[in-house]
Structure 1
Amino acid sequence: MMILFPEIDRKKTKKKVHELLSTYRSLLRIAGEKNVPKITASYVFEVNQNTNNPIQRAETIIDRKRLAANELTKITNAMNQLDRYDRQLLYDKYMDRQFTTNIALYMTYHMSESKFYRELDKAMIRFAESYESGQLLIEK
């Protein structure tokens, strides 16, 4: 019998989320501008589904681009399942084109350092639950 809510190894799960979201900016560059999600004022991500890409010569470029676009879609879908606060926190930390330090982030959010990390940890766990139906969750 499968347990719906198994005990989660929070540390390993957050590490997996961090590893995935840390690749976000690279995925954007690989996927190309046409696949970059637009972010609305309420941090809702919208994927551009334009498939009129010119034919590339090297299949590896096409495959890499397609894989990056697919991964962006998975991340976008997971982000859109989160509430606005979690989306904004994760966006500012991992996705904004202007890389910002954690110190600048918790000052921007008017939080103590410890509160910022607690809030970020919660957002990361919620993202792990949302990504591909919990694919990033690591059980104890």
Structure 2
Amino acid sequence: MSSLLFPEVDEKATKERVDSLLKNYHKIRRLSGMPIEQKVTATYSLDPKSFTGMNSSAIESGTIKKLDSVSLYRDINAAINTLDAYYGERIYVKYINSTRFYDYEVFSAEQISEATYYREVG
């Protein structure tokens, strides 16, 4: 019954994906607040227009990128806010803080062992 409610999760792959996502947190935050600027100059092309339903306009693709970034930014912050304060602080120090620290700087400043740090943060 538990397999129906909670399917088996590949923890290693999940950790790698979360780590990759959080390493791009600053980029996502920057993109979510990025103003969308229109091109001032005309673009001339001999290529025929695409009628595949894909958004080819720079404004549309910029808007979609911004909306995706805003949604992702909110989801990341909501996920971090659901964590216990202790673990939320660990994530903040490792990924979100404007000053990037190496792992050894974090666990030595927190006065915890390297094994404990990697067990908690990953």
Question: For the superposition of Structure 1 and Structure 2, which TM-score range results when normalised by the shorter chain?
Answer: 0.7 to 0.9
What's the CA shift string for 1:56-103, capped at 9, x where partnerless?
432322221111111001111111111101111011111111111101
Point out where structure 1 has 5 or more consecutive residues left out of the alignment.
Answer: 34-53, 122-140
Are the structure 2 counterparts of residues 61 and 84 from structure 1 closer, same or farther at C-alpha, using a change threshold of 3 Å? same
**1:23 equivalenced with 2:24 (yes/no):** yes
Q: TM-score, normalising length from structure 2?
A: 0.72
Relative to the length of structure 1, the TM-score reads 0.64
SS at match of 1:69: helix
Farther-moved stretch of structure 1 (61-70 vs 79-88): 61-70
CA contact (8 A) 2:25 2:96 kept: yes
2:100 is paired with a residue whose SS is: coil
Partner of 1:83: 84
Runs of 5+ consecutive residues of structure 2 not aligned to the other structure? 39-58
**SS of corresponding position for 1:30:** helix
Q: 1:6 to 1:67 in 2, by over 3 A?
A: closer
Residue deviations 1:28-56, cap 9 Å, x none? Answer: 111127xxxxxxxxxxxxxxxxxxxx774
Q: Which residue of 2 aligns with 1:95?
A: 96
Q: Equivalent residue for 1:137?
A: none
CA gap of 1:55–1:114, structure 2 versus 1, over 3 A, is closer
Asked if the contact 2:36–2:62 (Cα under 8 Å) also holds between the matched residues in 1, the reply is no
Q: Percent identity, please.
A: 33
Aligned partners of 2:8, 2:68: CA distance in 1, in Å?
31
Question: For residues 95-116 of structure 1, what are the alpha-carbon distances to aligned partners after superposition, in whole Å with 9 as ceiling and x for unaligned?
Answer: 1111111011101111111111
Task: Confirm or deny that 1:114 pairs with 2:115.
Answer: yes
Greater Rg over alpha carbons, structure: 2
- How many residues align? The count is 101
Query: CA separation in 2, counterparts of 1:62 and 1:20?
Result: 21
Distance 1:55 1:116, change over 3 A: closer
Which structure is richer in relative contact order (CA contacts within 8 A, separation 6 or more)? 1
Residues 30 and 6 from structure 1, CA distance in 2 versus in 1: closer, same or farther, beyond 3 angstroms? Answer: same
In the alignment, what sits opposite 1:60? 61
Give the corresponding residue for 1:11: 12
